[in-house]
Structure 1
């Protein structure tokens, strides 16, 4: 029985999804042979073939050894540049792009032997048996074994091209940076616009009219509760909002009715702090001021909203963000709970002041999220 053909063995192992292993080492540059597992029914026993065995794959009129064939199969997913560099470092025969594509197609069962670079097994066995002295006799003995091809079909086959998909066609040596093309295009478009722009040197100048004011660009408003039971009033709101420090409110008429605090809200403006106006009464509001109200503090008493644009608490807290501030351990008023998720409950502790910063941050997180949802910062 003749020795098994290395290409047929490799193809059978690929189709059976049972690849061979290198021996005696697992590195291709130091291994000597390929050990093929049993592949019944054609190859019922394990087979070992030296890596220097010449195969029926022909490149430049010379047979390619099994080491180079197996390496090309291992590198089937590599780019052309990577494959060539690895082949040179390993010292194996490298195949051209079309040759490697033909080999992979054959091993995966998509092409039969006798086409392209792969010589038919009948010719190879006949030439080996006949030797150099009986070449003509061997060719004569093959008459009737090799399928005769119509000369016109031969011309057609010679003109065929291997169809490749777009991933293969568009795969380059390395990723290409086209940012310079975009910059050149922008410069060209700018010059073109300037060239087509009519000259205004002879036209009478008109004073520029300032854009109409937008309530979105004005300072947002925080509205406090005027109730005497409120934990946050005009007397202690500024250190709480700016420093995260809660001090008990003080009574009296010497407190200002208007304050300004600043806070950086990254989701609204990442670098510039936003200035907030703080008041405890809307008596001096203009109609468009209500569009700037972003937070309303409440003690849970409905009389607070009588002079508001939205006197119904449920409607009010759909248009603004509500906050109830109470002491830890005290029960939240039932009305506040009825007003729904539009009111956030914040609890401060009577003695542990280090928790004040946490409560302050929760307030600003609620304001920032509400403002972001309403389009502030756009």
Structure 2
């Protein structure tokens, strides 16, 4: 396989942890794959640039389609996500999805766990074609084969030529063609969901455990000792009928919510947001992921409303609003944005102007970086972050 094809370069740069550059149609560097038009692989030894929708030679399952460069690169960027999270974000950004059956095979190949994959279609060179002809025809050389074919074509009709071609045909089998079969599994996900829903419905309709008749009879005919007593000792043994007198767990239904971007390329993610909001210290997300840190689905942070206060207010930090109920949106007090409007898709307020009229908005950028043009019309506060941030940003 050529070292200049996009699949080989993507695998090489991923294993070597070399940076892959995304360039927009105007020639500027961007961080989001959906904003880029080209993908650049450049280091000290080589430099190659491909349109992001360039097809690779990695076959999609047993079909005749091939994954594009942007599809494989986006899977690498979202390798930490679950299948459900990855599928939702692919749909939101309008990209092609790597199938569930291919996901682990693709990641293992691109990260170097496996050396090759059966779904990679190698381009056959002239040398390999000639070698195949030599095996088929034994000791015949090219000149004698060509003379024999021309002789048959000149003295026979088309059917004789076709018979000669058919006699030399060999059935090619690959791992993809062997597994292709004659059945379609396109609806397997739909069937699985149907089975789960049917099982859940049976559990909900299952009758509750019948009470013991002996206990029911005893409860219907209480003895003298079970009757209410006016003595303090018996009163202390009975549960109180006043709901307010019973101890209740602390409710989290009114804890404020902060929403941050889910994109792994964002400056602030679930890996480093706690240090940023509580200690005003910026830590690179990639460093935490390299140390093996797991991504939390929800964080609880505490902040003082004023510098001289001892009481700290808790906040919930999430990077997905999919599970928010309609009443939970009243608790959203702050939103961090990357400047991409698709971040607010399916939210209660989908337009940035309407969203930031209800909640406080923040846009984080590097101190030497210009903000995106899209946020200039949004009601958001710009946070200029320095890599050596200690106590320079307060909000």
TM-score range, shorter chain: 0.3 to 0.5
Larger Rg computed on CA atoms: 1
TM-score, normalised to structure 2, is 0.35
Q: TM-score with structure 1 length normalisation?
A: 0.36
